Amino acid sequence: MAENKDGQVYTASGIPVKDIYTPDDVKKVDYNRDLGSPGQPPFTRGVYASMYRGQLWTIRRLTGYSTPEDTNKRYRDEYAMGQTGFSIAPDISTAAGMDPDDPRVSADVGHSGVPIYSIEDMEVVFDGLPIEKCSTYLADRVGGLLSPAYFIMAEKRGIPLNYVRGTTPNDLFTWSSMDLANQPPPDAYVRYAVDFIEWCTEHAPRWYPVSFNSYNPRDNGLSAVQEVGGLMATVIQYVDEEKRRGRIPLNKFVKRFAFNMAANNDFFEEIAKFRAARRMLYRLMKDRYGIDDPTCGQLRVHVQTSGSTHTHQEPLNNLVRIAYQVLAGVLGGAQSIHANGYDEAVCLPTEEAMLLAIRTEQIVALETGVTNTVDPLGGSYYVESLTNELEERAWDYVKRIEDVGGMAEAVKSGWIHREYKAAIIDYERKLDAGDVTVVGVNKFRLEKPPYKVPIFRPDPKSPDLLIERIKLLRKNRDNARAAAALKEYERAARSTENTVPAIFEAVKAHATPGELAEVQLRVTGGWTYPIAG
């Protein structure tokens, strides 16, 4: 919340807030057109009729560290504590498409996620875990190894492709915010992402082949308005690309779109944001693309509490922030939720932080009563007015992105990076001026809190272990088969055909992430994120 000199109060996105809201503030709202019943267009009140009365959201924490074996142990612990879905956090080497013995990344192997370089590594990560019952989120590099390796592992377990459940992010918007090395240009990113959506439409109909992800851009300082606008602009980029190709009917192409959004601190604005996003997607599909099937306009969203709001000063305060952010996700109608560890501003989550994160979601679900009725804030004069205002501003932001040529061009030109830079500078200015309050940082700050938190430290031996493991993989595989598969992948990448079958064959032949990325960049050329001027 910010307050200017004349005493006007604003939301975190700069939307003016009145002292009190009355029926006059929602007199333009038509119930059937703008709200509807839960499970009915325009899905403002939720994508399913019964929502949490029928089924609670999935508890799904993004997790990974050190080695596949260590990560498997953590997944087993999370599952035993009541987590109901899995989510792979890859380390930097995996996300960047570099092998562990690549000198550019070897020192970081396993330090910020789990390294996965083969089908066997994937099998170790999920050893003893019921992937036939639980869906999995794979934070995969575009055109990378994780999704093929997961599908191949599932088939080896006897799970047909058309029964495998989970999500591949595959999203240009969040990729633009991460500044990873060894990446293809934005246009090539879109090509590989849409290839995968096409392939899943035909072969893996229960998989979400894209999760339009605004979490990382939001952590780069964007407002709720910019977050939703960026999401919709990215959807437009992908659907327009498939419309240009004409390979898959659009109503099939968009059927399994998923979304991943942040839950930040402005409680009511965040709730309004999720409601506005659902309505916007429905209207986008129906009005812009003429898709009459209402299920194609259902915005199914995973929500993660915002790491950028968590502080290393007095880290236990983050427990309170996380709880409110989880509650905003629930009241906003999320389908799955990740509650961060309270210590993530300091280190990877400890076992204590992991347990408290899972328990936070369970307490909200089972003790507070907020799941007793669907969309309990629906009809609130303030929430409905805020939802309308946020939607209107988000459409304006979509137009701004389209005016620069769409999301791919916004990334390529550095436009979106200038947005990140401006947002970060503006927030720091407000923090320094006291226009925003962060308890324990710029207000009520203690020089030394009366407690210490445990510090998680990754295994320092894991890089050496994984370097030796990949050397052994290259030595023992059929290198002629791997070389032939990589050559076929390069041929497919230089053509206009779908690249996914060739990537699958290369992964089956034990091509490594670094080798896959090398082929990709040989075809597309590398790309460096523009430095915002």
Position 464 in a domain: no
pLDDT tens-place values along the chain, 533 residues long:
455 556 899 999 999 999 999 999 999 999 999 999 999 999 999 999 999 999 999 999 999 999 999 999 999 999 999 999 999 999 999 999 999 999 999 888 988 899 999 999 999 999 999 999 999 999 999 999 999 999 999 999 999 999 999 999 999 999 999 878 899 999 999 999 999 999 999 999 999 999 999 999 999 999 999 999 999 999 999 999 999 999 999 999 999 999 999 999 999 999 999 999 999 999 999 999 999 999 999 999 999 999 999 999 999 999 999 999 999 999 999 999 999 999 999 998 999 999 999 999 999 999 999 999 999 999 999 999 999 999 999 999 999 999 999 999 999 999 999 999 999 999 999 999 999 999 999 999 998 999 999 999 888 888 899 999 999 999 999 999 999 999 999 999 999 999 999 999 999 999 999 999 999 999 999 998 887 55
Q: How high is the pLDDT of residue 458?
A: 82
Number of domains in the chain: 1
- CA 338 from chain centre, in angstroms, equals 10
Position 72 in a domain: yes
- CA 8 from chain centre, in angstroms, equals 34
Strand 166-167, strand 16-17: pairing = unpaired
Q: How high is the pLDDT of residue 532?
A: 52
Position 363 in a domain: yes
Position 500 in a domain: no
Q: Which residue's structure tokens are 């500044």?
A: 179
List the domain range (segments joined by +) for residue 120. Answer: 2-433
Q: How high is the pLDDT of residue 111?
A: 84
Q: DSSP 3-state assignment of 51? A: helix
Is the pTM higher than 0.85? The answer reads yes
Question: What distance in Å separates the CA atoms of residue 517 and residue 96, rounded to the nearest whole number?
Answer: 8
Strand 9-10, strand 2-3: pairing = antiparallel
DSSP string spanning 374-420?
SSTTTT-HHHHHHHHHHHHHHHHHHHHHHHTTSHHHHHHTTHHHHHH
Q: Is the distance from CB of 116 to CB of 68 less than 8 angstroms?
A: yes
Q: How high is the pLDDT of residue 201?
A: 97
Position 388 in a domain: yes
Residue 115 has which token pair?
């390294």
Position 482 in a domain: no
Question: What distance in Å separates the CA atoms of residue 58 and residue 38, rounded to the nearest whole number?
Answer: 19
Q: Which residues pair with 137 in a beta bridge?
A: 87, 167
Position 447 in a domain: no
Position 526 in a domain: no
Task: Count other Cβ atoms within 10 Å, centred on residue 266.
Answer: 21
Q: DSSP 3-state assignment of 100? A: coil
What sections of 264-332 are H helices per DSSP?
Answer: 267-283, 317-331
Taking Cα atoms as reference points, which of 220, 232, 302 lies closest to residue 261?
A: 302
Question: What distance in Å separates the CA atoms of residue 52 and residue 18, rounded to the nearest whole number?
Answer: 32
Helices (H) and strands (E) in the chain, counts: 20, 12
Strand runs (DSSP E) across 89-244, as ranges?
136-138, 166-167, 207-208, 210-213
Tell me, what CATH number does 235's domain have? 3.20.20.240
Q: Which residue's structure tokens are 């409110």?
A: 324
Strand 136-138, strand 85-88: pairing = parallel
Residue 216's identity, in one-letter code, is N
Axis-axis angle for helices 224-245, 381-403 (nearest 10): 50
Q: Which long-range contacts (CB under 8 A, 24 or more apart) does 280-287 make?
A: 280/228, 280/232, 280/391, 280/394, 280/395, 281/43, 281/232, 281/235, 281/257, 282/41, 282/42, 282/43, 283/42, 284/232, 284/235, 284/236, 285/254, 286/41
